[in-house]
Structure 1
Amino acid sequence: MPRIFRVRLFSCVVAATLLAACSREDSNSYQGYVEGEFVYVASSQSGKLVDLSVTRGQTITTGTPLFALESVDETAALDQAKRQLVATQSQLEDILTGKRAPEVASVRAQLALARANARKAALQLRRDEAQFDAGGISKGQLDDSRANADATAAQARDLSEQVDIARLPGRPQQIAAQRAQVAAAQAVVAQAQWKLDQKRVAAPADGLVYDTLYRRGEWVQAGSPIVQMLPPGNIKVRFFVPESAVGALSAGRAVSIHCDGCAADVAARITYVSNQAEYTPPVIYSNESRAKLVFMIEAHANASDASKLHPGQPVAVRLQ
């Protein structure tokens, strides 16, 4: 994921320009320098760098592929997670649909046989009752016939209920548990997909590829920047104004930036006014040295003009 570090470029020219700011003739013009806030693009995963799609000095747009890390393990993990998801979804469908058609047919066949036996036992009971009334059989034989009729009838009722049960889906608790398994499998797939996506990183914004920090084949630790970018919006100008001038400045005020080699001045607007004073060295504080108090001001140019400025470049800023 992109991580933004503020890189402050100071040099001896800064001190010189600050000293010069106290003695210039044009009270609306101040010396400053260009600063860049670089975007260090990294992956949250470790791996060998297998592809570096950009080169230093290249201007790119949002979404341009930057680099790719080896992803054999992540690809296999995603494939495994997807297969496990399919298995849990199939189990849920099986629970929701009840038994298979052949299983239901088998229970129905057993029910038909049980009903036939029940009818046969009922007929035999009626015959035995008539024979008992005529004195042809004993009371014990009649009791056996009645018990057989009751047993076969009960068996037929039981199989009839089994046919109805075979058509029913699983119990609500069983279905809820299986649905939770499906949700868990979906989360594993999403996690595996995210890790795989982290192995291929694209540009988070338009800008300049300021530098590349690794070469193909090198091992990259998680979080280590691979590409250093400088979006136009991250280029700003810093300059310092004396205490007597800071009160008239506020965010939004227009300024013009002059730089050596620029075809024309660059329009910009103040975006930050420091609320802390600094001293131009050397100084020993006294009422007479208040003139040496300066305040830091930051200004940003339009994105279309920002590319004309370069970090570390000395500039002259004129208030409008």
Structure 2
Amino acid sequence: MDKRTIIVLGVVMAVAAAFAVLWFHKAPAEASWQGYAEADFVKVGPTQQGLVTAVHVQRGDHVVKGAPLFDQDDAMDRAAVDQAAHLAQQARDQLANLQGPAKPTEIAQAEANLNDAIAARGKVQADLQRNETLLASGSATKQVVDQERADLASAEAKIAAAAAAVKQAQAPLGRADEIVAQASAVEVADAALAQARWRLAQRSVAAPVAGFVADVLARPGETLQAGAPIVSLLPPENIFIRFFVPEPSLAHVHPGDTVALTCDNCPPDVTGAVSFVSPQAEYTPPFIYSESTRAKFVFLAEARPKPDQAALFNPGQPVTVKPRAASP
């Protein structure tokens, strides 16, 4: 081998050694995981079966919390409210009747009877006093005095009876247990009225949350079962990112960690917090586990963007997730 060949080989070996050093000492590629945007839709439906009479929103609308979404036919519920209201008023009237005194005319009659008995007693008392004086002088007989004393006792008894009649007329008509039972009946009637009003209110359904109308699933004229969705809402805070972490990187992903989220036309500072890491592999290819194939295990994880950034993503949109420092 001549000297020139030896020099060329030396140069080649030096270059190869330099490439080898660069290869083994180059910075490791930044970890990134593929994912996509997903969302928890709020599907709003009626609480009871009925005919849909109006839908107040359409796909693509933005609604605030409390905005009307749809109405159902409420004719039967209005009639039920009217019936329950009348029954409740009837129960209250019956209770008031049991708690109230007799008629004013009956009370006036009882009071007049008492006054008459008092007047009669006064006459008997006056006659008795006069005849007791005459008895001492012999102008009246003992028999007459005894009779007037008996008349006075009878008059006192009549006064007591008349006074009791007045108290009875002024007292509640019902017995105590009747009043308690009727008070319970009033509570039952009021509860039935409240239930009827609630059922009527449910015929007009409002948005439980603010959000984007993702879909309208029924139209006026359709009769739906209770719970069947009519409007699908997407609140921005319900958007999250699903991504898949290879098994070798799983130990570096924890709930609460901050991750960077990138997508087409997204600003560069979009971040999210890891909210879920699956405890088991989502996809397990048909192979025997070994050190060389463990990277094929992929684990599902989820991250929640900040509320003010969640609306940047649309469900199904591809997203790249990169790790960042764990959130405090």
> Into which bin does the TM-score normalised by the smaller protein fall?
0.7 to 0.9
Aligned position for 1:66: 69
Deviations 1:81-129 (A, max 9, x none): 2233233333333444423433211211122233444555667788999
Q: Distance in 1 between matches of 2:304 and 2:282?
A: 22
Q: Distance in 2 between matches of 1:249 and 1:64?
A: 40
- Structure 2 matches for 1:140-159, cutoff 5 A? 151-159=154-162
Contact 2:248 2:294 (8 Å CA) reproduced: no
Aligned position for 1:38: 41
Of 35, 40, 57, the match for 1:54? 57
Q: Distance in 2 between matches of 1:227 and 1:140?
A: 102
Of 179, 195, 198, the match for 2:199? 195
- Displacement of 1:186 in angstroms is 1.8
Aligned position for 1:9: none
Relative to structure 2, which stretch is displaced further, 232-241 or 154-163?
154-163
Is residue 185 of structure 2 the alignment partner of residue 181 of structure 1?
yes
Q: Distance in 2 between matches of 1:287 and 1:41?
A: 49
- Displacement of 1:41 in angstroms is 0.8
Aligned position for 2:84: 81
Q: Distance in 1 between matches of 2:219 and 2:265?
A: 34
Is residue 295 of structure 2 the alignment partner of residue 255 of structure 1?
no
Aligned position for 2:32: 29
Q: Distance in 2 between matches of 1:259 and 1:145?
A: 117
Q: Distance in 1 between matches of 2:269 and 2:34?
A: 14
Letter in 1 for 2:85: K
Is residue 166 of structure 2 the alignment partner of residue 163 of structure 1?
yes
- Structure 2 matches for 1:292-311, cutoff 5 A? 292-311=296-315
Is residue 118 of structure 2 the alignment partner of residue 105 of structure 1?
no
Q: Distance in 2 between matches of 1:287 and 1:112?
A: 114
Unaligned runs of 5+ in 2: 1-27
Contact 2:209 2:235 (8 Å CA) reproduced: yes
Q: Distance in 2 between matches of 1:248 and 1:264?
A: 23
- Displacement of 1:49 in angstroms is 0.8
Give aligned pairs, total: 296
Q: Distance in 2 between matches of 1:57 and 1:246?
A: 38
- Displacement of 1:47 in angstroms is 1.2
Aligned position for 1:210: 214
Relative to 1, partners in 2 of residues 1:280 and 1:27: Cα closer, same or farther, differing over 3 Å? farther
Higher CA-based Rg: 2
Contact 1:259 1:265 (8 Å CA) reproduced: no
- Structure 2 matches for 1:270-285, cutoff 5 A? 270-279=274-283, 281=285, 283-285=287-289
Q: Distance in 2 between matches of 1:257 and 1:94?
A: 73
Q: Distance in 2 between matches of 1:244 and 1:157?
A: 103
Deviations 1:6-60 (A, max 9, x none): xxxxxxxxxxxxxxxxxxx844211111112111111211111112111111111
Contact 1:34 1:235 (8 Å CA) reproduced: yes
Deviations 1:190-233 (A, max 9, x none): 11121112111111112111111110121121111111111112
Relative to 1, partners in 2 of residues 1:144 and 1:221: Cα closer, same or farther, differing over 3 Å? farther
Q: Distance in 2 between matches of 1:264 and 1:102?
A: 90
Letter in 1 for 2:246: P
Instruction: Please provide the CA RMSD for this pair.
Output: 3.2
Relative to structure 2, which stretch is displaced further, 295-304 or 174-183?
174-183
Aligned position for 2:4: none
- Displacement of 1:299 in angstroms is 0.4
TM-score after normalising by structure 1: 0.79
Letter in 2 for 1:226: I
- Displacement of 1:174 in angstroms is 3.2
Aligned position for 1:90: 93
- Displacement of 1:67 in angstroms is 1.0
TM-score after normalising by structure 2: 0.77
- Displacement of 1:239 in angstroms is 0.7
Which stretches of structure 1, 4 residues or more, deviate above 4 A after TM superposition?
A: 117-133, 138-153
Relative to structure 2, which stretch is displaced further, 119-128 or 107-116?
119-128
Of 239, 242, 267, the match for 2:271? 267
Letter in 2 for 1:86: Q
Unaligned runs of 5+ in 1: 1-24
- Displacement of 1:238 in angstroms is 0.7
Letter in 2 for 1:155: K
Relative to 1, partners in 2 of residues 1:26 and 1:202: Cα closer, same or farther, differing over 3 Å? farther
Of 219, 224, 227, the match for 1:223? 227
